[in-house]
A and B are shown apart, each in its own frame.
Chain A
Amino acid sequence: MAEKKRSLSYYLLAGFFGLFVLFLYGPMSAIFLLSLQGPEGQLTFPMRGFSFHWLKAVFEPQRVGNFVDGFGRSLWLGLIVMLITVVFSVMAGLAFRRKFFGSNLIFYLTISSLIVPSILVSLGIGILFSIVGLDNQWYSSALAGHLTWTLPFAFLIMLGIFGRFNPSYEEAARDLGASDTTTFWQIVFPLIASSVIGVGLLGFTLSYDEFTRTSLISGETNTLPLEIFGMTTNVTSPALYALGTLTTLFSFGLIAIALVAINSLSRQQTR
């Protein structure tokens, strides 16, 4: 009796989970399909023909704004954010293995960055830059805005990683006479490498797709999400969907590469 009941709730919840996955992926697959329409295509179903017309249209600047330049800027910005996020959060994670005076304050300062609404960060950096007399650029003010979003996440993950880390490996290395730098690169880093890839990937994708924290402070040139936001008002063809399809495929590709890398790294370790 009890067994039967449990299996019923299992199937109900599994069904609910299935609907949830459909809810997440359904709309995305719709724009994926619609971006493969013929030149007569519209924004809604049914599909009119099948072609790569709209995917090609994305690369013709006059059709849908300047996608290629925006993509380049977002790519560079994402890479810079990724690098800084990884280095800074690993450093902070190392420091936070021990309590020190002010560590609580620094902890709450970092976490509070997640609680402040994004538009405030954007607005504040914009005002600060204008008071100081600096220009807003994607590589200055927007970079700063992105870091306030990626660093807290990376930091929290790093705390978790170092929380599970067994310090006896390091002590052994030190007992054998290794310097701190050697210990870090030879012992600590290889052990956390797969997590570091994960953090880097998270930093990149958060930055690559970030809209609100970039919106007021990207300067004269747009990053890709800003370009797409602009297009939502003036592009009424499936080219908009095609752009969505392409950037989504790019994100998925990155995630897949990172997962493969993490998997092979953690396999090497268990060997």
Chain B
Amino acid sequence: MNSSKTFRNYLLVAPQTLVFVLFLVLPIIAIAIVSFWNFNGFAMTPGFTLNNYLGIFSSRVYLSTYLNTFKFAFLVWLFCLLISYPVAYFLAFHVKSPKWQTILFLICTVPFLTSNIIRMISWIPFLGREGLINQALMGLGITNQPVEIFLFSDFSVILAMVHLYCLFMVAPIFNSMMRIDRSLVTAAEDLGSSPFQIQKEIILPLSASGIAIGSIFVVTLVMGEFATMRIMSGGKSSSVGYLIKNQLDSLQYPLAAANAVVLLIVTLIIVFAILRVVDIRKEL
């Protein structure tokens, strides 16, 4: 009886697990293998060489691309956190009726269910040379020439990425805040804690797991980005994802694979670092 139930569990979980073995585990193994193959400038041939990796670590262009990627990941993460924490806090603690909580949360969620590319290009009417911001600045007489830095700059890349990914921060933080026992806050208030103390001693520690999950999401999303990078920087800035995409377009598979392996290792290190600081298991 018991063993037949266990067998049934394996049957039930088999299709989903098979998808991840076939289309996640095997592909990563394939990338790892190909990253050691030879590349002669035209085609790849099976073999074992460390040249692809040596190329990455000895080239200043590659290293600066990696640094650039970290910079974007850090800044986007920071802004997402600074925006998402108050938003989630407002929804969780200030909106009292569960109905309005759901409605307002859905309002935040809906834009994230439409195309990323569309949401990116929707910044063009605001940021471009003749965009609304420049029109406003010139209309107010602050500048007499359009300011170029709004579009096709680091600024526009970060803005677009924050716009694209902040829900991945809002949702987990909101979720963990909703689990906080409200009587803790009331008790602290009764004992005379200031709002700042309540944030620091109760809400922040108890929502830390949500912040960790959101951070993991945002960091991994930004680390592999190339579409936002290309559209919003106008090709002026680069990231590892963009680099991989370009190498593939010129059929340099082993080089792209080596970069992918390095990118994966770096991303996993960051994820494990976050998991070391915060225990997210209680969230699941």
**Contact surface of A with B, Cβ cutoff 8 Å:** 2, 5-6, 9-10, 13-14, 16-17, 20-21, 23-28, 30-31, 34, 42-45, 87-89, 91-92, 94-96, 98, 100-101, 103, 106, 109-110, 112-121, 123-128, 131, 144-145, 147-148, 151, 155-156, 159, 202, 205-206, 209, 211-212, 215-216, 224-225, 228-229, 232, 240-241, 243-244, 247-248, 251-252, 255, 259
Contacts and interface: CB of A to CB of B under 8 A. Distances in A.
Contacts of A212: 224-227, 241
Given A31-B118, A44-B130, A115-B220, A148 B24 contact: yes
B12 interface: yes
A20 B87 contact: yes
6 contacts: A30-B132, A88-B16, A110-B17, A115-B271, A144-B23, A155-B16
B16 A124 contact: no
- If over half of A's interface residues share one DSSP class (helix, strand or loop), that class is named, otherwise mixed; here it is helix
Nearest to B244: A119
A30 B125 contact: yes
Closest 7 CB pairs of A and B: A124-B27, A117-B224, A27-B122, A95-B12, A244-B118, A13-B90, A144-B23
Measured as residues with beta carbon below 8 angstroms from the partner, the interface class of chain B is 35 or more
Interface in B56-85: 83
A117 B8 CA distance: 33
A251 B114 contact: yes
B48 interface: no
Interface of B: 5-6, 8-10, 12-13, 15-17, 19-28, 30-31, 34, 83, 86-87, 89-91, 94, 104, 106-108, 110-111, 113-126, 128, 130-132, 135, 163, 189, 195, 216-217, 220-221, 223-227, 231, 241, 244-245, 248, 253, 256-257, 260, 263-264, 267-268, 271, 284
Contact of A127 (B15, B132, B223, B253): B253
Contacts of A202: 113
A20 B122 CA distance: 16
Nearest to A141: B23
A21 B108 contact: yes
Given A96-B13, A100-B9, A116-B220, 15 more contacts: A10-B94, A16-B86, A27-B122, A42-B130, A44-B132, A91-B13, A91-B15, A109-B24, A115-B267, A124-B260, A127-B31, A215-B245, A244-B121, A244-B122, A247-B114
A44 B260 contact: no
A124 B31 contact: yes
B115 A228 contact: yes
Contacts, number: 248
A123 B244 contact: yes
Contacts of B10: 95, 100
A22 to B, nearest CB: 11
A100 to B, nearest CB: 5
A251 B113 CA distance: 7
A97 to B, nearest CB: 9
A27 B126 contact: yes
A145 B28 CA distance: 13
Contact of B20 (A2, A123, A151): A151
B283 to A, nearest CB: 10
Contact of B118 (A103, A106, A247): A247
Contacts of A145: 23
